[in-house]
Amino acid sequence: MKPRNLTIDTLRLLAALEVVILHVHFDHLPDLVAIALRLQARWAVPFFMIVGGYYLARRLAEPDRSDARPWIYRMMWIFGLWTLIYVPLVLIEHGPKEVFRRLLFSTFIYTGTYFHLWFPSSLALGALVLLFCFHYKLGRLLPFVSLAIMVHILLAGSYDIFGIKFPFEFETARHWVSVPLLYLGFWLFRRGPLRPPLAFLLLVGGLALQAAEAYYLLTRFQVPAYDHEILIGTFPFALGAASLGLSGMRLLELPVLSNWGREYSLGIYLLHAWVFFAIEKSTAPLGREVIQSPLWEIGYPFLILLACIALLAVLRKWTPGFFNWLLGSYL
C-alpha cells in the first residue's frame, strides 16, 4: 500500500478552512479585504472534487478495489443522512413550512435541506456520469461534455450578462460541476501530477485571473465582486493546488495538520453550519462591540474550524462507530 500523502491531507484541512471562510459574512471589514478573502477561498470545493477524482481513478486502477460503488454509496448516504441532520436547524430558522418545501420540491436533489449539501450529491452524480461514459466507451466525449458544463455554469452564474436563457439556472448547473472536476482528477492520475513550476503557475495565474474577472465584471457590468462562486480562473486555481498537493511538498508535510485533514476535513464541511449556529447563539451575550468587530470576523473562521475539530475528535475517540456512521466510513 502506498504511504499517505501528508501534503494533500494538510491541504484538505486548509480547504476546509476556506469553505468556512466562504460562509462567513465579513460585514465589518473593508470591502476590498472581504472580496479578496472570498476570491482566494474559491479553490476549495473544486480542489476537493479534483482530488476526489484522482483517488477514485486510483481506486479503479487497483484490481482488488476496482469497484466505485462503495464510494458512490458513501456520497449518497452522507447526502441523505445530513439532509435529516439539518432538518431541526431549518425548522428553528424558518419553520415547518420551509422544511416541507425543501424536502418535497424538485430542487431537493441539488441542495437537500441545507445549502452546502449540494457537494456530496454532486459528487455522486459526477461519478455516475464518468463511470457511465467509461463503461460504454464514451470517454472521448468527456472533454467536450466537461467544457460544455463549465461554459454553462459560467454563463448561468458570474457571466450572466448577455441575456442568454438556459434550461438550468445557476444552482442546477453548478450541480454538474463535479463532472469536469472529477474528470480533471482522472486526467491527473493518468498523466501524473503536473510539474511543480507549472502547477504553481496555474495556482497563481488562476487567482490573478479571478481578481481580473471580478474587477472587469464589476466595472463593466456592475456585477458585485463579493458574490462570485465560480469564475474562469477558479478551474486553473484549483487544478494547480491539487497538482501541487499530489506532487508532495515538504513544507506542507505537517503530521498534526495532515492528520486533522485526513480525519476531519469532510466532517468539518458537513458539520460547520451547525457549529455556526451554535456559536452565534452562545456568543450573542458578548455584545455587538465584540461580535461585529473586524478582529472578531478575522478570527471567526478559525474558531469555527477548531470547534468542529474538537467536536469531531471527541466523537471519534468516545463513539468511533457513531463517528464512522456520520461520515459513511463503514461503507
Sign of CA dihedral 67, 54, 301, 307: positive
CA-closest candidate to residue 180, choices 149, 219, 223, 135: 149
| Residues 108 and 102: beta-carbon distance below 8 Å | yes
> What is d(CA 12, CA 28) in angstroms, rounded to the nearest whole number?
28
Looking at residue 107, its pLDDT comes to 82
Per-residue model confidence as pLDDT tens digits over 31-53: 999 999 999 999 999 999 999 99
% helix, strand, coil for the chain, step of 5: 80, 0, 20
> What is d(CA 330, CA 59) in angstroms, rounded to the nearest whole number?
17
C-alpha cell recorded at residue 134 = 467509461
Low-confidence ranges of the chain (pLDDT < 50): none
Count the residues in the chain. Answer: 331
| Residues 177 and 230: beta-carbon distance below 8 Å | yes
Long-range pairs for 153-160: beta carbons < 8 A, 24 or more residues apart: 153/177, 153/230, 154/230, 154/231, 154/232, 157/228, 157/229, 157/230, 158/213, 158/217, 158/223, 158/228, 158/229, 158/230, 158/231, 159/217
